[in-house]
Amino acid sequence: MDKQQQNSRMASNDPDLPDTSLDPQPGDLIEIFRPAYQHWALYLGDGYIINLTPVDESQAAAMSSVQSVFSGKAVVRMQLLKEVVGSDSYRVNNKYDHNHTPLPVCEIIQRAQDLIGQEVSYDLLGSNCEHFVTLLRYGEGVSEQATRAIGAISLVTAAASAFSVLGLINTRSRNRPF
């Protein structure tokens, strides 16, 4: 299996599809495909992951990190991968291994276990679930989702500013008496 295949092993909960994935290994990053976003977790072993969940402990809240966006807080929880994934699909995705060196697995797991049950700050752009798990795996928080979102926000802001300036110039030229 080449590095690309190792970094992108797919799994599905659909019983009609053959499971062609390899089992996740302790320390692997797990990308869970939600309808509107990707949720990230870190595999601990024996079917368990660690991930950020909303502070509200209800089962519905535990299935979505979206509520954390509004509260600015999340709780680090150890949960069964199959329960967190639910009917969504997931893959092992250690996509940053090519430019970030993973910490030793025993250190990744220890760092993760030390955080279980703790409340942490949550910020979609600066401290989200992907930042959290990459911080555990590499010692540095990285999130392409956040980078893409920041880029989109910057583009919209730049476009709005340009249209605003153009509108101001156009208004001034129309209001000249000569």
Q: How confident is the model over 89-106, as pLDDT tens digits?
A: 999 999 999 999 999 999
| Pair 11, 93: CB distance under 8 Å | no
Q: What is the pLDDT of residue 55?
A: 86
Is residue 9 situated within a structural domain?
A: no
> Which percentage of the chain shows pLDDT scores above 90?
49
Handedness of CA 89, 132, 118, 114 (dihedral sign): positive
Residue 68, in any domain of the structure: yes
Q: Is the distance from CB of 32 to CB of 41 less than 8 angstroms? A: yes
Mean pLDDT, residues 27-40: 94
For residues 29 and 108, is the Cβ–Cβ distance under 8 A? no
Question: Percentage of the chain surpassing pLDDT 70?
Answer: 58
Residue 174 lies in a domain: no
The answer to whether residue 165 sits within a structural domain is: no
Q: Identify the weakest region by mean pLDDT among 37-41, 55-59, 133-137.
A: 55-59
Point out the residues that are catalytic. 39, 129
Q: Domain tally for the chain?
A: 1
Helix ranges restricted to H, the chain: 3-7, 59-62, 66-71, 81-85, 105-115, 129-138, 144-174
Report whether pLDDT(53) > 50: yes
Measure Cα distances from 151 to 34, 119, 145, 147, 158 in Å. Answer: 22, 29, 10, 6, 10
Which pLDDT value is given to residue 144? 76
In a domain, 166, yes or no: no
Residue 42 lies in a domain: yes
**pLDDT beyond 60 at 1:** no
Task: With cut-offs at 50, 70 and 90, classify the pLDDT of residue 2.
Answer: very low
Q: Are 150 and 142 in contact (CB under 8 A)?
A: no
Query: What pLDDT is recorded for position 37?
Result: 86
Quote the crossing angle between the two packed helices 129-138 and 144-174, to the nearest 10°.
130
CATH code, 58 = 3.90.1720.10
Structural domain containing residue 70: 28-150
Query: Considering the domain boundaries, does residue 127 fall inside one?
Result: yes
Q: Does residue 160 lie in a domain region?
A: no
Q: What is the pLDDT of residue 8?
A: 43
Look-up: residue for tokens 């101001």? Answer: 168
pLDDT of residue 78: 97
Type of residue at 40: W
- State pLDDT tens for residues 68-87: 555 689 999 999 999 999 99
Report the chain's mean pLDDT, rounded to a whole number: 76
Given CA atoms 158, 161, 163, 169 in this order, what sign does their dihedral have? negative
